[in-house]
């Protein structure tokens, strides 16, 4: 019963549970609305642009990458609110940037005190998505995995760990969603100073913390999609990505289940190898004692 209750309250698993990022953003949204009311400014009145007969506004959409920029802006805004309105600073060493730096530049001693602004988070994610040629849909799956990690591992995304948590979520989402998965070594070409060993170790921890649950039901994806649209509306951002078609939704569920089975099999194989190695050491020690 408790397991079912926990599942139903987890937005990354259950379609009826509210997304965490949307609730985190509501405090700021209420403040903005209150400020607009005091200053007699209608929300979106001065910032939103609409096409008309005389003027047509064009975004950066393409057939192959529909509204990638606007989708990343919304997803990174969700991450921004996660960090800004976090409950505490619970973290794990594997995600700490001081312990595992992404660059050779020295991490400042007060690195854990300063929240990144939205532009900083956007630039980091945009660089990865552009270099790895990832899709807008992959950005939404990234957010699903991020919230699942925070819920399962009972940690917070904060100034000390946000880059590595986001990188881990992108790494996993790109392997599950995109047809041409990016290898860990490819990310080392983007982030020049990180090692493949570090990437592999972070991926392994991420999967273990998710309990190898990387399945993304179409209903969960749809909820995140519509909540991101609500977030965009609240913050006067455009969000023009089309919802998943029935075929693409089925593909997401099928691929995520397939990847989940593959990772579980790899984990079992690794455990068997570790068990066999331990037994072999034990046998050798026994033989040494007997001789």
Give pLDDT tens digits for 39-87.
655 544 444 444 344 333 334 444 344 489 999 999 999 999 999 999 9
- When divided into structural domains, the chain yields a total of 1
* Residue 36 domain-assigned (yes or no): no
Which pLDDT value is given to residue 177?
A: 83
* Residue 202 domain-assigned (yes or no): yes
* Residue 76 domain-assigned (yes or no): yes
* Residue 165 domain-assigned (yes or no): yes
* Residue 132 domain-assigned (yes or no): yes
CB 201 within 8 A of CB 96: no
| CATH number of the domain encompassing residue 238 | 1.10.472.10
Residue 57 backbone dihedrals phi, psi, to 5 degrees: -95, 130
CA–CA separation, 200 and 204 (whole Å): 6
Which pLDDT value is given to residue 205?
A: 96
CA–CA separation, 131 and 55 (whole Å): 33
**For residue 244, which of 236, 258, 255 has the smallest C-alpha distance?**
255
Which pLDDT value is given to residue 42?
A: 54
* Residue 178 domain-assigned (yes or no): yes
Tell me the mean pLDDT per 10 residues along the chain, length 291: 55 91 88 64 47 38 62 97 96 96 91 95 96 92 97 97 97 83 82 92 95 94 95 91 87 88 81 55 42 40
User: Count of residues for the chain?
Assistant: 291
Which pLDDT value is given to residue 38?
A: 64
* Residue 48 domain-assigned (yes or no): no
The structure tokens 């209150």 sit at 34
* Residue 44 domain-assigned (yes or no): no
Look up residue 94 and give its DSSP letter: G
Give how far Cα 114 sits from Cα of 44, 150, 286, Å: 29, 20, 55
Give the structural domain span for 234.
Answer: 66-268
Give the tokens for residue 10: 């987890």
CA–CA separation, 72 and 80 (whole Å): 12
């Amino acid at each position: 019963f408790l397991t079912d209750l926990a599942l139903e309250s987890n937005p990354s698993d259950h379609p009826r549970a509210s997304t965490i990022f949307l609730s985190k953003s509501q405090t700021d949204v209420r403040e903005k609305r209150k400020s607009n009311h005091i200053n007699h400014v209608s929300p979106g009145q001065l910032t939103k642009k609409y096409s008309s007969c005389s003027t047509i506004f064009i975004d950066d959409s393409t057939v192959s990458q529909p509204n990638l920029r606007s989708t990343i802006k919304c997803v990174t805004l969700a991450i921004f609110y996660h960090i800004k309105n976090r409950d505490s600073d619970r973290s794990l060493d594997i995600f700490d940037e001081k312990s595992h730096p992404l660059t050779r530049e020295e991490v400042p001693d007060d690195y854990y005190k300063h929240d990144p602004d939205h532009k900083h988070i956007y630039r980091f994610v945009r660089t990865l998505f552009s270099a790895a040629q990832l899709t807008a849909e992959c950005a939404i799956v990234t957010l699903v995995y991020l919230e699942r990690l925070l819920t399962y591992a009972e940690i917070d995304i904060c100034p000390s760990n946000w880059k590595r948590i986001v990188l881990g979520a992108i790494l996993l989402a790109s392997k599950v969603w995109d047809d041409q998965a990016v290898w860990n070594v490819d990310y080392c070409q983007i982030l020049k100073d990180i090692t493949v060993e570090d990437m592999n170790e972070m991926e392994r921890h991420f999967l273990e913390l998710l309990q190898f649950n990387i399945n993304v039901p179409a209903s969960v994806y749809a909820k995140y999609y519509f909540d991101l649209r609500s977030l965009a509306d609240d913050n006067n951002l455009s969000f023009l990505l089309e919802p998943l078609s029935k075929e693409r939704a089925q593909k997401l569920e099928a691929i995520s289940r397939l990847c989940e089975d593959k990772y579980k099999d790899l984990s079992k194989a690794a455990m068997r190898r570790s068990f066999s190695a331990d037994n072999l050491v034990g046998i050798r020690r026994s033989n040494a004692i007997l001789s």
